[in-house]
Amino acid sequence: MLLLGLTGSIATGKSTVSSILSKAPYSLPIIDADLIARQVVEPGTAGYNAIVRYFAPTTPDLLLPEAGPKGRPLNRPALGRRVFGQGEERERDRKVLNGIVHPAVRKEMYRQMIWAYLKGHWAVVLDVPLLFESGWERYCGTILVVGVSDPAIQIQRLRARDPHLTEEDARNRVLSQGDIREKAKRCERRGEGRGVVVWNDGDREDLERNLQRVMEDIRRRSPGWWSFLLWVCPPLAAMAGLVSWYKMKKVQESWEEEKRKEKAKL
């Protein structure tokens, strides 16, 4: 089974691509890290309790006033203002939040991947906004990055989607996820068929055409007979996964070493 990593940045169209891939003619199972991240911090969960313990003393509006069956949900805009943006304090708080949420998300993603394999799917989409930053890169046989050529497009789309955000709020959220053009370069570094970029500067029809072209190539590189063989022979699937993991680990380490050298020259 192919692990197809799907990533991008905020307001680049990644969620639209995920929705398209979940429907015919693709009909692929989607493991949505954002959705899982919401589920693991619902009232009553261990993640929720840890966030409240850390952030409540410094964030008075951390919880919504209306209580649900299990308690008051998190006020996500308030938490977002706390962790997004520049500065040492916000960076520290963002790391704390990630340290609470990410382990719980990983556990649930592993469970869903195993289930998709057992059901015989030829591929599963790992919809992870911070795929490179969170270390999922090496696990994916192919990565698809949805990007735009100018961050101004992201800010415009983000404010249209979330009218409550100010210009500064939108800019901070875009900048906090890094330059999408840098992610595109990193993706293409993986090589043909293993790293693909879909540019989404136009309308939905353009996006669907670009995505169709990309998916046809990906499917051609993972034929049905190979998917079936991996399904009926789990040891072979495990071996193929290990080989792919090792190769992509080398690519990841090469990229990171190159970036370290660039920083050392500054």
What per-residue confidence (pLDDT) applies to 26? 95
Residue partners of 61: CB distance under 8 A and separation at least 6: 75, 78
What per-residue confidence (pLDDT) applies to 126? 96
What per-residue confidence (pLDDT) applies to 263? 84
User: Domain segments of the chain: what residues?
Assistant: 1-29+122-266, 35-118
What per-residue confidence (pLDDT) applies to 164? 87
What per-residue confidence (pLDDT) applies to 88? 82
Instruction: Report d(CA 51, CA 37) in Å as an integer.
Output: 13
What per-residue confidence (pLDDT) applies to 166? 86
Instruction: Report d(CA 221, CA 79) in Å as an integer.
Output: 42
101 near 45, Cβ under 8 Å?
Answer: no
What per-residue confidence (pLDDT) applies to 244? 94
Ranges in the chain, pLDDT < 50: none
Domain 1-29+122-266 has CATH 3.40.50.300: yes
Give per-residue pLDDT as tens, 212-247. Answer: 999 999 999 988 899 899 989 999 999 999 999 999
